[in-house]
C-alpha cells in the first residue's frame, strides 16, 4: 500500500512539474492561438476540432465549451468537433479512406478564415495530417496541440499557423497539459470578449 500511495503522489508531482515548466514556454503560442480563434469567430468563422482516441474527447469538449459556454454566460461561438459523427467516421474505417475521414469534413465544412484545431500526442497521425493539409488548401488557420517532437504535423505548419508543443514524451502527461491549454484558450477568448472576471469560482 505505501508503494501504491507513493506512485499516485508521484503522478501529481510529475504533472505539476511539467505544467510549471511548460507555463513560460507555452504562454506565447497559447496567446497567439487565442487571437487566432478570436479573429475567426468574431468575423463569422468557425473552429473545427479533431483528434484521435482521448484527444477526440478533448476536441469534443473544446467545441462544447465554445458553443455552450466555459465559466460564464456569453453568446455561442461557432465550433464543430469532427469526431462526433459515427456514421461518417465508420464509413471510412479502412484503408486509405480512413486517412481522409477528417479531411473530407474539412473540405465539406471549412472555409477560408476558419480555424482547424488539431490535437495529437505524437503529431504523426495520418488522418490528422490529411486534415491539416485540407485546411491549408482551404485557406484556414491550423492550431496544433502536440507533444514529443511535434512529429510530421509540426513540420508542415506555416508561419501563420500556431504550434503548442508540450515538452514531454509520455502521453498521459501531454494530455493533462492539453486539457489545461484548452481551458486557457476558452478563458482567453472569454476575457477578450467579456473583459476580466472579478473572481473565478
pLDDT classification of 198: cutoffs 50, 70, 90: low
CB contact set of 137 (below 8 Å; sequence gap of 6+): 107
Q: How far apart are CA 154 and CA 103, in angstroms?
A: 17
Total-model pTM: 0.93
The terminus-to-terminus CA distance of the chain in angstroms comes to 35
- The 3-class SS string of 92-128 reads CCCHHHHHCHHHHHHHHHCCCCCEEEEEECCCCCHHH
pLDDT band at 201 (very low <50, low <70, confident <90, very high): low
Distance CA 29, CA 14 (A): 23
Alpha-carbon distance 16 to 192, whole Å?
27
Q: How far apart are CA 177 and CA 161, in angstroms?
A: 20
pLDDT for 160 equals 94
CB 189, CB 38: distance < 8 Å: yes
Q: Tell me the mean pLDDT in the region 151-161.
A: 96
Provide the 3-class DSSP secondary structure of residue 16.
Answer: helix
The grid cell for 160 is 501563420
Q: pLDDT tens digit string along 41-74?
A: 999 999 999 999 999 999 999 999 999 999 999 9
- Partners of 163 in the β-ladder: 144
> In this model, does residue 32 exceed pLDDT 90?
yes
Amino acid at each position: 500500500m505505501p508503494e501504491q500511495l507513493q506512485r499516485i503522489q508521484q503522478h501529481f508531482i510529475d504533472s505539476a512539474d511539467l505544467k510549471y515548466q511548460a507555463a513560460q514556454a507555452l504562454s506565447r503560442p497559447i496567446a497567439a492561438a487565442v487571437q487566432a480563434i478570436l479573429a475567426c469567430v468574431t468575423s463569422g468563422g468557425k473552429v473545427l476540432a479533431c483528434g484521435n482516441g482521448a484527444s477526440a474527447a478533448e476536441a469534443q469538449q473544446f467545441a462544447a465549451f465554445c458553443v455552450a459556454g466555459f465559466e460564464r454566460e456569453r453568446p455561442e461561438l461557432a465550433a464543430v468537433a469532427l469526431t462526433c459523427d459515427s456514421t461518417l467516421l465508420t464509413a471510412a474505417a479502412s484503408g486509405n479512406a480512413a486517412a481522409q475521414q477528417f479531411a473530407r469534413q474539412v473540405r465539406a465544412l471549412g472555409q477560408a478564415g476558419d480555424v482547424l484545431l488539431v490535437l495529437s500526442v505524437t503529431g504523426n497521425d495520418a488522418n490528422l495530417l490529411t486534415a491539416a493539409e485540407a485546411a491549408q488548401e482551404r485557406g484556414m488557420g491550423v492550431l496544433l496541440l502536440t507533444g514529443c517532437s511535434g512529429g510530421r504535423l509540426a513540420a508542415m505548419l506555416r508561419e501563420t499557423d500556431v504550434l503548442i508543443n508540450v515538452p514531454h514524451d509520455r502521453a498521459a502527461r501531454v494530455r493533462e497539459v492539453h486539457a489545461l491549454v484548452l481551458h486557457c484558450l476558452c478563458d482567453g477568448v472569454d476575457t477578450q470578449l467579456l473583459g476580466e472576471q472579478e473572481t473565478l469560482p
